Structure 1
């Protein structure tokens, strides 16, 4: 009997974690994994082998929420067979649906909001200990981002995500993020730099700084000595061994001269910026309450490109927003060509509860939304092809990411274009100087 008890207590528990949504969610997923690993748990890719099945969710689009409900439905039979299974919903969907999740999915044990996920292992332990249900929503007394981050749980050692802020102070009419994520909360710059140094000491060469509107970093902190994203870039430039810094995501309203200058002088800054335009029509932008006009966006881009002519841009687009006319959509087509985005993420508008736009008439037919979606992606391919070909002949620094064939590696150059190079010394995260010698129809061809 004593041996049986000892064997049971020594058994490693397993958890399954599925993450949906933005890069911030995937970063949070790393923190969740680290918290479980610290407590002796082991991650499994098979939910059938797990004692806790957890879903870190996204509420930006209806399709993502329905996917989670579908996966939860698949666990009902398993829960009947194994009542000890713990099922948890974490993040934005938990914030938005709250207690209603228990009603719609009675087999769910934990509903954990986006500000409470660091405590999810303890919540699982409470359920395993006999507590029927755990509901954790709203503000938390414990900071989401610990001053010293546990570096376990990262899928890659050469590349890492670092959250510099949480929340969003914008009020876009189509977006639920401010409601579920809360207002902006910036981390102290010293804490961020210390985390990056620890990551570099552990083998990281590239970091992605994350924020819903990252160029608003620091604006919530006391005015006296207030830090900024420009200051943060300058501080990170002093971190030896850090080859590249990538920013995700910017809002045009917060781009200023100080930030543009800091980007231009940073030796690590990846000159690939996600600055979503969403629409090329001022009337649509006004209904979206984006806070800028097409001309203001144009001026912000000019400010950046005056200092960095080789800067590349990435945009999100919403097609079929309420009231979008053919003329409005044509303005988006023209804007995509004008700004020469290297990449676009195009989404068909769908009404989201608890947003201002939910009260607007969804008057663009679904078939027309699909056609506009396809058309923007067609234009994007044309634009990206032309911009990539312009890089032939350029000298750059290439960070290797993955092997693609015998002796060949794929990576990104200084402004985000993909390139392939033959090298006998390939390794993820390695920085190599290269010349772009050609283009194979998909990516650049580089040589030492």
Structure 2
């Protein structure tokens, strides 16, 4: 386990649900009109679900099975760990169109030294190689990640390595936090030598750059037509509807309440850091 993570100590070993159990649940959801599912796990890539007999299905095979269910048009999964991000999972992005064009792949740090202290089990180059392979099969895939800032003994060089990784990958969206020790975890015994003011400044630097990248990705979507799954009525104006793009952007547009749960095409007219506005294209209700 990662040295900073308390989850294994509070929830125990991760257990993979049998394949039939998951597929039965999803078929039932599809009958009710659900169009998108999100396969969840603390480390969902490590999934090994029981099939008939003694065989097991990995996450890639499960995704293929889910994609074959009538009515399911979008599949997401989270949270992933780079170590278990297998070749078969990369192939699924090539073979399964229902798998959305977005991936959340936490890296936590761009420093090999800090990754080793975190016991992440991989180096930065290996992480970058996974993303290169993904971009070969999905050139425009949207990438997001998690970053822990101010991990014990994080040096200026370690922090700069994280900034270098962010600038290299150009993440679409990411979450970043100042390290907070969790009692009972191995990292809680590490000497926290990074001053609080340094942690705060580093976090601001990271978040400013991540926000800049996020805005850039949003601006690049201006003028494009996006397939939106309509999720709800707008909070400020009930003549507006809100849907979500494949790359996990919220889009606000004027539309009828009857569009709830349907796919529509929307032309993007305004872009913000984490949301978009658009215009519903006439006669483009997909389902």
Q: How many pairs does the alignment contain?
A: 278
Residues 363-402 of structure 1 mapped to structure 2, 5 A cutoff: 363-402=193-232
Deviation of residue 437 (structure 1)?
A: 4.2
SS of residue matched to 2:56: coil
Q: 1:219 to 1:324 in 2, by over 3 A?
A: farther
User: Secondary structure at 2:9's aligned position in 1?
Assistant: helix
Matched, 1:356 2:186: yes
Instruction: Describe the shift of the 1:199–1:423 C-alpha distance in structure 2 as closer, same or farther (beyond 3 A).
Output: same
- Which residue of 2 is the match for residue 421 of structure 1? 253
Deviation at 1:406, TM superposition (A): 4.9
Counterpart in 2 of 1:29?
Answer: none
Aligned with 1:194 (options 24, 45, 59):
24
Give the match's secondary structure for 1:184.
Answer: coil
Q: Structure 1 pair 274/362, CA: closer, same or farther in 2 (3 Å)?
A: same
1:288 aligns with 2:152: no
Distance in 2 between the 1:350 and 1:290 partners? 17
Matching residue of 1:343? 173
**Aligned-partner Cα distance in 1 for 2:258–2:113:** 50
Query: After superposition, where does 1:148-297 map in structure 2 within 5 Å?
Result: 171-218=1-48, 225-297=55-127
Q: How many angstroms does 1:401 deviate by? A: 2.0
Could you tell me how far apart the structure 1 residues matched to 2:219 and 2:64 are? Answer: 32
* Alpha-carbon shift at residue 438 of structure 1 (Å): 4.3
Equivalence map 1:13-24=2 (5 Å): none
Alignment RMSD, CA only? 2.2
Q: Deviations over 1:351-386 (max 9, x none)?
A: 222111111101111121122122211111100011
Contiguous gaps of at least 5 residues in structure 2? 282-287
Q: Is 1:403–1:426's contact at 8 Å kept on the other side of the alignment?
A: no
In structure 1, list runs of 5 or more residues that go unmatched: 1-170
TM-score normalised to the size of structure 1? Answer: 0.58
In 2, the alpha carbon distance for the partners of 1:203 and 1:378 equals 40
Alpha-carbon shift at residue 397 of structure 1 (Å): 1.4
Q: What's the counterpart of residue 149 of structure 2?
A: 319
Alignment of 1:61-100 (within 5 A): none
In structure 1, how many angstroms separate the alpha carbons of the residues matched to 2:175 and 2:129? 22
The offset of 1:219, in angstroms, is: 7.6
Question: How far did residue 181 of structure 1 move?
Answer: 2.0
Tell me: CA distance 1:440–1:346, structure 2 relative to 1, closer, same or farther (3 Å). Answer: closer
Out of 245, 253, 267, the residue aligned to residue 435 of structure 1 is 267
Q: Could you say if the C-alpha distance between residues 256 and 446 of structure 1 is closer, same or farther in structure 2, counting changes exceeding 3 Å? A: same
Partner of 2:285: none
State how far apart, in whole Å, the 2-side matches of 1:417 and 1:300 are. 23
Q: Summarize the Cα distance change of 1:221–1:237 in structure 2 as closer, same or farther, 3 Å threshold.
A: closer
1:393-439 CA-partner distances (Å, limit 9, x unpaired): 43331011222235322221122222222223554322112333443
Residue 276 (structure 1) shift? 0.6
Q: Which residue of 1 aligns with 2:135?
A: 305
Cα distance in 2 for residues equivalent to 1:435 and 1:396: 6
Asked if structure 2 preserves the Cα contact closer than 8 Å seen for 1:400 and 1:426, the reply is no
Match for 1:446 among 263, 267, 278? 278
Please state how far the C-alpha of 1:257 moved relative to its aligned partner: 2.2
Following superposition, the deviation at residue 330 of structure 1 comes to 1.4
Give yes or no for contact 1:217–1:228 (8 Å, CA) kept in 2. yes
Residue 270 of structure 1: how far off its partner (Å): 2.3
Secondary structure, in 3 states, of the residue corresponding to 1:227? strand
Q: 1:293-347 deviations in whole A, cap 9, x for unaligned? A: 1100000111111111221122111111111011111111221222122222211
Q: Which has the larger radius of gyration?
A: 1
Is contact 2:229–2:263 with CA below 8 Å preserved after alignment? yes
Counterpart check, 1:411 vs 2:204: no
Whether the aligned pair in 2 keeps the contact of 1:186 and 1:221 (CA below 8 Å) is no
The answer to whether the Cα contact below 8 Å between 1:420 and 1:445 also exists between their aligned partners in 2 is yes
Secondary structure of the 1:415 match is coil
Alpha-carbon separation, structure 2, partners of 1:296 and 1:216: 17
